[in-house]
Structures are given as structure tokens and as C-alpha cells.
Structure 1
Amino acid sequence: LTMVNHSTPETEFVLHCVIGPEQRTYTIALLVLIYLVSLIGNLLVILVIQMNHRLHSPMYIFISTLALIDLANSTTLIPKMVADIQFEAAVVPYGACILQMYIVYNLEQMESLLLAFMALDRYVAVVYPLRYNSIITKKNVYIVVIVLPVFAFLVHSPFVVFASELSFCRTNILPYCFCEYATMVQISCNNDPKYLTLLSMVVIVLGLCPLVLIFLSYTRIVVAALKISSSDGKSKVFSTCFTHLLVVGLFYFPLLTSYILPGAGVKLSAEAYNTMVIVGNVVPPMLNPVIYSFRNKEIKNSIFKILRGKRMAPEATE
């Protein structure tokens, strides 16, 4: 691809995924593998929870919602990235590029807030077990699930407005694997700091705050676990906390770093930026079914029943 300047700004973008020819085959194979694992894992989680009425409880509603978000995120990003890498570059209409950016930001925000609510769910279950059923009700969980996309879409609407204000008089080539707001700002001719300041503010408030809440919840869970007399019980809680925090870290830290630094005036190389955002977006959807679902006894038993062709038990009468 020849990097040429374009003088017709707001009609289309050229996505140029900065990956060397020697790494192309390996990267494509890895992305395809990640997508297939994410697709099968998250579909299986949704199917199992939907089919087993005993899993229609608050915790599993959160898990199935997370699987749905991860499925949408992987499908929005990975197939397009694979095509872009295979053909070195891809021309994307301006409107389609803005739409992809908007969808990805909304899905990231929904996952960020959902992980915080899931941490709170476990916090209440461990620290206040007798009050769990009165605090974490199905009604409250469904309200959270319904409000999440509405809130995310409203919060990220200003990015669409700001993106429409950008002028691309020098180039329309995005050195990136998919359409992304900060990269658009960096290649534009607009020097107003408001465009990246908005991004940093949203990420700090709606990214860092849920992360702090997650850490506080798991810290309190660990403190409660230390009071458990059973060594097996302690081991199980610590193992669960560690694996949950691992996948939370893989989601939050690459994305927070890549979104906050540009707004603070720190420029990252295209390779570093690509790597961080790709890791933050495509690795957690692959790991989440394993961390949150397949280690769960009820879900594992339900999967075995499906594989053996057995019917799920009917919903118990209350």
C-alpha cells in the first residue's frame, strides 16, 4: 500500500492494519482461532442458560448477557480485521466507519459496567448471603440489563457528533485494524484538544470507576474468605477471584491505557496501539466463557446433558 495524501476527506476511509508480511499468516490464523473459540464458547453459554430453567437466576442472567456482548463484539471486529489484514488495506465508507466505531465503544462500555455489576453480585452473595435474594432480584437484574445499552448509546453519542466535525484534508488512511475515534482525531486537521479530552474524561469516569468498584468488591470478598475455616473453601474463593481479576485486567488495562494516553498528549506507536486495543477487545470474549461459565458446576452439568442428548430438568415450582 502506498501511503498517499487524499484531498476528499469525508467520503471514505482506508484502513491500513500495521502488520508485517512475515506476521500476517500467523496473525490471521490466531484471530480466526480466537473468533471460533469465542463464537462457540459464548453461543454454548447462551444456549445452556436459555435451555435450563434452573439457571434463570440473577447470576446466570448476568453471565448470559456478558456472553451476548462478547459475541457481538467479536463478530463486529474480528471478521473485518481478518479481511483487512489479508488484503493489507480496505476502503470503508465514512458512515460505515463511524457506525463501527460507535458500536465498538458501546459494547466496550456495556461490558465494563456489566463486569462491575457482576462483581457487586458476588460481593453481596459472599458478604451478605442472607440478604442476597432480597437485594439481587430478577427485576433489578433485568433493569440493569435493559438500561446498559441505553446508557452506553447516550454516553457515546457525542463521539459521533465530534467525528462528524473532523476534517481530513491531509489523509484518510487510518493506520489501524478497524475504525476508531482516537485514530480519526490524530489524522484529522483539527487541533482542538476537546476531541481527545472528551475521550479521556469518559474513559476515566466510566472506565476507571467501574474498575475501582470491581477491585473493592473482590478485596472485600477476599477478606470474607480469610474468615472461612475450610481450606478448600478459601482455595475456591481465591481461585475464583484470581481468574476473574485476570480477565478483568486483560479487558481494562490495554483499553484504558490506549484511550487515556492519547487524550493526555502521549503518542503511541501504531503497533503498540493496535496491539493494546486488539488484546482488550478480542481476548476477553474468548476467555470469559471459560472463566465465568465453564468452571461453574451447574453450567458444566448442563453442557454434558446437552452433549448426551438429555433433556433439561423442568423449572421447579416455588
Structure 2
Amino acid sequence: MRGNNQSSISEFFLLGLSTQPQQQQPLFLLFLIMYLATVLGNLLIILAISTDSRLHTPMYFFLCNLSFVDVCFSSTTVPKVLVNHILRSQAISFSGCLTQMYFVFMFVDMDNFLLAVMAYDRFVAICHPLHYTTKMTHQLCALLVAGSWVIANLNVLLHTLLMAQLSFCADNVIPHFFCDVTPLLKLSCSDTHLNEVVILSEGSLIMITPFVCILISYIHIICAVLRVPSPRGRWKAFSTCGSHLAVVCLFYGTIIAVYFNPSSSHSAEKDTDTAATVLYTVVTPMLNPFIYSLRNRDLKGALWKVVHRRTLSV
């Protein structure tokens, strides 16, 4: 292990959400319920979109990919928390920690890219409706998703390789419920200047660029909708974007609270930061299916058909 990662520490210890024994059982049940709701809700959306031919459009193709990413996103952190509680163990190997960090931030990047792609899809649909079918082709949609996967993997691979070069020779306790990059950098006893520069430059660029694209898309969308003479038409146009805007605000709001808040100094030891981290890693993937299905008549109809079909088969 030492020869591979230049570390005298072979494992870390995740403190979890709380060190209070009386809070462990309620938190375990809460995380279990949220994880099951996340998996069930997102898988239902994937199944509904896959089985209903009316939903085979770019918007639902991107939503299907977002649901898949959200299931994977939650599965990188929550099962480890649950297993640690059951086994009464907080240990995670060095390689396991780097692997978890890799997948957590890969899926964060994918959420980031997919939200930007979905914003562009709504921009074309509302601002250029006559050219929508010619612009948003199946080839372009597949290329946008595939490109997002490639960029996300390359970005996270860079950060993971840089992290693997660091030495950890003293404290090995991570005050968090998963291997986050900031607590790991604080535990390192080697120079982390290069890691921090790459995170602030390349990492910030990866997060900020899609966010700027979303803002530009919605500025054009709002301007186009305001030119619609009918109030009913304006409401219909805004309602098609309402679900996406809600998810965007929830996702970026929690990301900013954790990683771009100067007052917190990016400290994972503080309760507010931990709560915000739980929001974007656990709560947001759970809420996405409800947000999209509650405001979408076609998707609600497809979900009802899936549930009704499964109930009759049982």
C-alpha cells in the first residue's frame, strides 16, 4: 500500500453524521428510508420513460439519464453509512476512500452537466420551437450525454490521481460520512498546494461553466416567454421549466453552501456544512423524482400505468 500511494496510513475512519449514541438508530432509519425512496422513485421514472413511447423525446431522455445518475450518486455514500452502522465499524481502506471520492464527484459532475443539457433542451424548445426536432436530434442527445460522461470521468480522474500522490502519516479520522476531498486534504502531511490550485481552477471551471450555461438559457427563455401575449401561454411555458428550475436551485444552492461559502472555510466539521452535504448527496436525488413527476402530467400518467401494471401482475 505504501509503495502505491506513498501513505503510511492504510485506512481511514469515518465519524459519520453524529457521535451521539442516542442519535445513531434514528439516523440509520432516516438514511435507510431516504435511500429506498431514492432508488424506488428514480427507477420508477426510468421504467416509465422506457415503457411509454410518448416519452421518447429528448427532454425525457435526459431525465432518464439524470434518474440513473441520482441512483448511482446515492449508492456511493448511503450504503456505506448503513453498513458501518450495522457492522459497528467506521473504517474504510485508503483505496476504498479514493474510489468513493472518485464516484461521488463523478456523479456530481454528471448531475451538473445533465442539468445544463436539460436547460439547453428547454431553451431550444421554447425559443426555437419550429426547429426543435431538427436541432435536438437523437445523435446530438446521445453525443451530449456521452460527452458529459467522458469529461466527468477525466475531471475526477485528475483529482483522484493527485490525491493518491499525497502522504497521510498522522491523523486518519475523517469528520464526515463519506470521503470528501476537503477533509482528506486537511489530513495530508504533504504539500497540497497543487491539489488546491487544480480544484480552484479546473474544478471550479467544471462547476461554474454549466451553471453559467443554465443562467444564459433561462434568461433567453424568460425573455421569450414574456413576449407571449396570452397569460395562459406564458404560464404553460413557465410550468414546463418549473420542475427543472426547482432541481437546479436545490442542487446548486447546497453545492454553494458547502464548497463556496467563505464563512464556513469549507469545514466539514460544522453541523451546517454537514447538513448541506446531506442535502445534495442524499435529499436532492430523493426529491428529484417527486419534483419532476408532480408537475408533469405526462410523466404522472406513465408512472400510474407502471404502478397499476405491477399491482395487477402481483
For normalisation by structure 2, the TM-score amounts to 0.87
1:250–1:167 Cα change, 3 Å: same
Contact 1:32–1:82 under 8 Å retained in 2: yes
User: Is residue 175–residue 268 contact of structure 2 (8 Å, CA) maintained in 1?
Assistant: no
Letter in 2 for 1:36: L
Unaligned runs of 5+ in 1: 1-7, 311-318
CA distance 1:261–1:302, change in 2 (3 Å): closer
The amino acid that maps onto 2:18 is I
Report the secondary structure of 2:190's partner residue.
Answer: coil
Q: Does 1:193 align with 2:197?
A: no
Conserved? CA contact 2:259–2:266, under 8 Å = no
TM-score (norm 1): 0.86
- Provide, for residues 257-304 of structure 1, a one-character-per-residue CA deviation record: whole Å limited to 9, x for no partner: 433458x99352513332222211212211211223443222222222
Aligned to 1:11: 10
Post-superposition offset of 1:240: 4.5
1:220-259 CA-partner distances (Å, limit 9, x unpaired): 2122222223323323333444443232122123224433
Q: How many residues align?
A: 302
On the 8 A contact 2:110/2:149 being kept in 1, the answer is yes
Q: Would the aligned equivalents of 1:207 and 1:252 in 2 still touch at CA under 8 Å?
A: no
Q: Does 1:183 align with 2:187?
A: no
| Structure 1, 137-146 or 268-277: larger mean CA deviation | 268-277
| SS of equivalent to 2:91 | strand
* C-alpha distance in 2 between matches for 1:54 and 1:236: 19
Q: Distance in 2 between matches of 1:198 and 1:225?
A: 40
Superposed displacement of residue 193, structure 1: 1.9
Q: Quick one: structure 1 residues 85 and 194, their matched pair in 2 at CA, closer, same or farther if it must change by over 3 Å? A: farther
Q: Which residue of 1 aligns with 2:227?
A: 227
Match of 1:4 in 2: none
1:171: Cα distance to partner? 1.0
Structure-2 residue corresponding to 1:30: 30
Structure 2 residue runs of 5 or longer lacking an equivalent are: 1-6
Matches within 5 A, 1:299-314: 299-309=299-309
Separation of aligned partners in 1, 2:286 and 2:69:
12
CA distance in 2: counterparts of 1:137 and 1:32, whole angstroms: 39
Over 3 Å counting, the alpha-carbon distance change for 1:308 and 1:161 in structure 2 is closer
Partners in 1 of 2:268 and 2:157 — Cα distance? Answer: 28
**Does the CA contact (< 8 Å) of 2:45 and 2:64 recur in 1?**
yes
* 1:18 Cα offset (Å): 4.3
Structure 2 vs 1, CA of residues 226 and 48 (structure 1 numbering), >3 Å: closer, same or farther?
same
Instruction: Provide the C-alpha distance between the structure 2 equivalents of 1:224 and 1:65, rounded to a whole number of angstroms.
Output: 28
CA distance in 2, matches of 1:272, 1:89: 25
CA spacing shift, 1:38–1:172, aligned 2, 3 Å: same
Corresponding residue for residue 129 of structure 1: 129
| Contact 2:166-2:192 at 8 Å conserved across structures | no
Residues 148-202 of structure 1: CA deviation (Å, up to 9, x unaligned)? 2221111111212211121112111111101122211111112332222222223
Q: Secondary structure at the residue paired with 1:13?
A: strand
